[in-house]
Copies of this chain bind each other. A is one copy, B any other.
Amino acid sequence: MTEETSSFGTMHLTKSRLESLSDGIFAFAMTLLVISINLPDKSRIVQSQAYATHLILSLYSDFFHYVLAFLILGAFWLSHHIMIHPVKTLDRIFIWLNLGTLLFVSLLPFSTSFAGDFPDTSLGAIVFEANLLAIGLGMFCQWKYATSSHRLVGAELPDEFIRHVALGTLVVPGISFLGILIALTGNLYSQAVYLMLPFVGFLLHHYHRNDRVSSA
């Protein structure tokens, strides 16, 4: 009798609980991002319209990274659910791959803060991009592990769907890798690569639809 089939083994960690911890960490990390927009200490605040205007304008880099990080985490959260839905059983390795990915999700408020604090160096952008690269690779590994030889998913899951989701998890890492390359050349606006995301997302979606129609 293997532990996996035993009624008192680790399998009691149901999918719903893993999803609930993951949802919690995604929601908190997305909300905690706001801490990266930091106001100066109260004692240094001057009560004038000019100072207030200057302050809010000086936060442009913080705002930009906040919006970017929030929306990309939203996209990852969406992927996480599309990905975890067809998973039928859990094992320890999958759970640890998921926890490892969440470690980088929960690190994003730091990287966002760091990138917002260093708008004029390429290292700020690289740390931010490397963090997103790590989340995306973590999700790719989870999916590969779950679907290779249909390990944790049903046998009826079409290979075409498996390939499509795998491709989807690689979009953000791919763009992040491109961003890191650009940043390494000393360019300070490498984060602009993420503006490609909606277009790549649309193309992938469109290609997937055509692929399915043609294979139907």
Contacts and interface: CB of A to CB of B under 8 A. Distances in A.
B25 A56 contact: no
A138 interface: no
Contacts of A52: 118, 121, 123-124
Contacts of A8: 86, 157-158, 161
Interface in A1-29: 1-3, 6, 8, 10, 12-13, 17, 19-21, 23-29
Contacts of A146: none
A174 interface: no
Interface in A80-119: 81-82, 85-86, 92, 95-96, 99, 102-103, 106-107, 109-110, 113-114, 117-119
A27 B25 contact: yes
B42 A121 contact: no
A207 to B, nearest CB: 12
B6 A212 contact: yes
B158 A106 contact: no
Nearest to A49: B121
A123 B53 contact: yes
Contacts of A26: 21, 24
A127 interface: yes
A209 B3 CA distance: 7
Interface of A: 1-3, 6, 8, 10, 12-13, 17, 19-21, 23-35, 37-45, 47-49, 52-53, 56, 66-67, 70-71, 74, 77-78, 81-82, 85-86, 92, 95-96, 99, 102-103, 106-107, 109-110, 113-114, 117-124, 127, 157-158, 161, 205, 208-209, 212-213, 216
Given A52-B118, A52-B124, 8 more contacts: A3-B205, A8-B157, A12-B86, A23-B24, A25-B27, A40-B43, A41-B41, A42-B117
